[in-house]
Amino acid sequence: MNQKTTSQIVTQTLGKTTFTWNESSPLEFEAVTREAEGEPEYHRKFDLAQLTAGFEESLLFDLKDLFMQRHLKIRAISVKAEHDNVVRLLKKIQSDQTSSDLSKRLMEADKITAIDTGLMIAIREKLAEDAGWVNGRYIESLCDLFTFAGHGSVFKDLERGDFPTRDRSGTADRSRQIIISQALSRTLQIALLTDVERRFQAGELHLGVYVLWNLTNTLYARPESLRQIRFGDLTYTENKATGENDYTLWVMPAKRGGERMKYPLTVFLGHMLVKQQAWVIENIGPLYGLKEDLDPEKRKVIEQQLAMFPRINAGMRPDFEAKHFGLIEGGSTLSRIYLEPIQRCLDNIHVSFTVMRHTIGTQLAAAGVSAAVIQAVLRHANDATARVYIDLAAKELREALNTGLEALEELFPAYNAFMNAQQTRAMAQQFPERIVNSRGPIDPQTGAMEIETTGGCGKSAACAFAPLTCYGCWRWIANVDADHSVNLCKVRERIKENEAFGKPMKAIVERDRLLEKLIELRMGQFARHKAEQTHQQGALKGEGQ
């Protein structure tokens, strides 16, 4: 621990954090944390001076020391949240402590000198009179601080059980309900992936939005981790066996300090991140000194520091971003910039980083994966949260995760547009350019190729990507009487052929597997539609008789 004093300004360094305050107001201090050399600085302000009316200064100074020591245990952002909760609780206590009405005073003493049994009893009495007197989370934060500090000058004659606790009956059920309500079914996830792909190919989504969306669906990381990704965190080495690069992304853990975590990437995702780097260099790089005549060594240093996902526009940057090469300061800002463009396309479903984490957690649990594996995939500090997902893997959840067609129809109403064989022939006569034909297998006896009219395009003409991409296109009007298995077989054959090439074709195989699932989904939808039509016709026939 180092401490320096310069003209009333005191600076003290503790681990990775430097604290600064003015001698005239020592209970107001600032913490500047840097996890490692080259990492950004994070500034947090703390204020205990607002508590001097109800608490002895000696207690507040000792509390200040605790918050400073706390930086050695948890991340700065967590210390700040804990400080804010504790201060809110102490301000509430102070309000009652300094009340002019003696009947409302919390303690008989003029000022509180320690957090002890007497204070806990007084808090319990207040809560007995009014259960909403103070937020239970504030007391929990104070209890966490006690667990860290133990007995001393701040906490005296206390046990953990002395702290009032919230009624947690039903908390687990509420957590499960939140997860179930947020998690996407596999069906909806496929539909969203397909829709985002379509919108990107049509130029409706920015490259960065598309890349971060794919990264989110691969890493399932928290926004606090995703926002800190910089150019230097993407590394690659040549794989001599395949001739391709093996890509690795090094991601900072969101809720605890330490080394960046290693995430191997697919070739497709590696290529997309390289394209994102090129866009950032061309459009954002000049804001941070990247010029054509720049010295190569200086250019390399700047490029390594550039944020992988900065603000998309090229306008003015907030001070933090300007100082840290475009790095966005908060996870909520990252969500607003990169997820809202996708959210605006959706009416009946909420998409967030948390939703995607709940999605993979529930799907892994429903598949029978252990808590340890879920913990490893989602990078939880322990398996407690993973066990919540395991608890959800009951019959009811499996049913909930597999009833996606109804939600799919609400999300993409155009998926309900169907034609029968007669309507398809009528379209072929009037608008032949809109017809989508699929090629089936060749008859070994005649040598003729089967041509199946699988639907029609809702636009003026079918695009060059038909017929396979039609199954994920909202403009497509399917012919429910057609044999769509011709396309399913074609995709499966392509998967089998590309799998033989190994890793170089892995990204294409993954794409085709997604397409395979989508075609299966649509075929099931067509079968259900035909069954409903048959049922309705039977009912009408019965009424006629």
pLDDT at 388: 58
Whether residue 165 lies inside any domain: the answer is no
Mean pLDDT, rounded, for 148-166: 85
Domain that holds residue 297: 176-409
The answer to whether residues 86 and 121 belong to one domain is: yes
Here the tokens at position 126 are 């207040």
pLDDT at 306: 94
pLDDT band at 538 (very low <50, low <70, confident <90, very high): low
Check whether 329 has a pLDDT greater than 50.
Answer: yes
Whether residue 188 lies inside any domain: the answer is yes
Strands (E), 386-459: 418-419, 435-442, 449-457
Distance CA 34, CA 375 (A): 27
Whether residue 164 lies inside any domain: the answer is no
pLDDT tens digits along 216-254 = 877 777 888 888 999 999 998 988 877 788 899 998 877
pLDDT at 411: 45
Q: Which of 132, 159, 186 is the last residue of a domain?
A: 159
Whether residue 491 lies inside any domain: the answer is yes
The answer to whether residues 405 and 421 belong to one domain is: no
pLDDT at 161: 84
pLDDT tens digits along 248-261 = 999 887 765 567 88
Here the tokens at position 43 are 């500034």
Contact of 276 with 208, CB cutoff 8 Å: yes
The answer to whether residues 238 and 287 belong to one domain is: yes
Whether residue 170 lies inside any domain: the answer is no
The more confident residue out of 88 and 108 is: 88
The more confident residue out of 301 and 179 is: 301
Mean pLDDT, rounded, for 506-522: 80
Q: Over the Cα atoms of the chain, what is R_g? A: 30
Of the candidates 71, 94, 97, the one whose C-alpha atom is nearest the C-alpha of residue 16 is 71
The answer to whether residues 431 and 370 belong to one domain is: no
Check whether 193 has a pLDDT greater than 90.
Answer: no
The answer to whether residues 359 and 427 belong to one domain is: no
pLDDT at 127: 87
Contact of 341 with 212, CB cutoff 8 Å: no
Strands (E), 215-318: 234-238, 245-251, 261-265
Distance CA 410, CA 135 (A): 38
Helix (H) or strand (E) holding 46: strand 42-47
Q: Which of 409, 431, 458 is the last residue of a domain?
A: 409
Whether residue 167 lies inside any domain: the answer is no
The answer to whether residues 405 and 416 belong to one domain is: no
The answer to whether residues 197 and 305 belong to one domain is: yes
pLDDT band at 412 (very low <50, low <70, confident <90, very high): very low
pLDDT band at 50 (very low <50, low <70, confident <90, very high): very high
Check whether 524 has a pLDDT greater than 70.
Answer: yes
pLDDT at 195: 76
Here the tokens at position 520 are 């299966």
Mean pLDDT, rounded, for 34-38: 75
Instruction: Tell me the CATH number at 390.
Output: 1.10.443.10
Q: What number of H helices and E strands is found in the chain?
A: 21, 12
The more confident residue out of 82 and 185 is: 82
Distance CA 82, CA 76 (A): 10
pLDDT band at 398 (very low <50, low <70, confident <90, very high): very low
pLDDT band at 213 (very low <50, low <70, confident <90, very high): confident
pLDDT tens digits along 52-96 = 999 999 999 999 999 999 988 887 888 999 999 999 999 999 988
Check whether 476 has a pLDDT greater than 50.
Answer: yes
Average pLDDT, the chain: 80
Please list the alpha-helical segments (H only) found in 233-295. 267-283
Distance CA 27, CA 22 (A): 9
Looking at the chain, the whole-number percentage of residues with pLDDT higher than 90 is: 24
pLDDT band at 402 (very low <50, low <70, confident <90, very high): very low
Whether residue 171 lies inside any domain: the answer is no
Number of compact structural domains in the chain: 3
pLDDT at 47: 95
pLDDT at 540: 61
Q: Which of 409, 432, 465 is the last residue of a domain?
A: 409
pLDDT at 217: 75
The answer to whether residues 145 and 48 belong to one domain is: yes
Distance CA 35, CA 409 (A): 47
Whether residue 74 lies inside any domain: the answer is yes
The CA-atom distances, in angstroms, between 132 and each of 86, 124, 126, 377, 527 are 16, 12, 9, 38, 55
Residue 145 CB neighbours (<10 A) = 21
pLDDT at 541: 62
pLDDT at 363: 58
pLDDT at 525: 76
Please calculate the CA angle 438-201-361 and round it to the nearest 5 degrees. Answer: 95
What's the distance, Cα to Cα, between the start and end of the chain in Å?
Answer: 94
The answer to whether residues 428 and 537 belong to one domain is: yes
Here the tokens at position 17 are 């954090």
The answer to whether residues 417 and 446 belong to one domain is: yes
Residue 161 CB neighbours (<10 A) = 8
Check whether 285 has a pLDDT greater than 70.
Answer: yes
Of the candidates 392, 37, 85, the one whose C-alpha atom is nearest the C-alpha of residue 232 is 37
Distance CA 291, CA 404 (A): 51
**Which residues have C-beta within 8 Å of that of residue 110, sequence separation ≥ 6?**
none
Distance CA 9, CA 343 (A): 47
Check whether 353 has a pLDDT greater than 90.
Answer: no
The answer to whether residues 486 and 400 belong to one domain is: no
The answer to whether residues 127 and 196 belong to one domain is: no
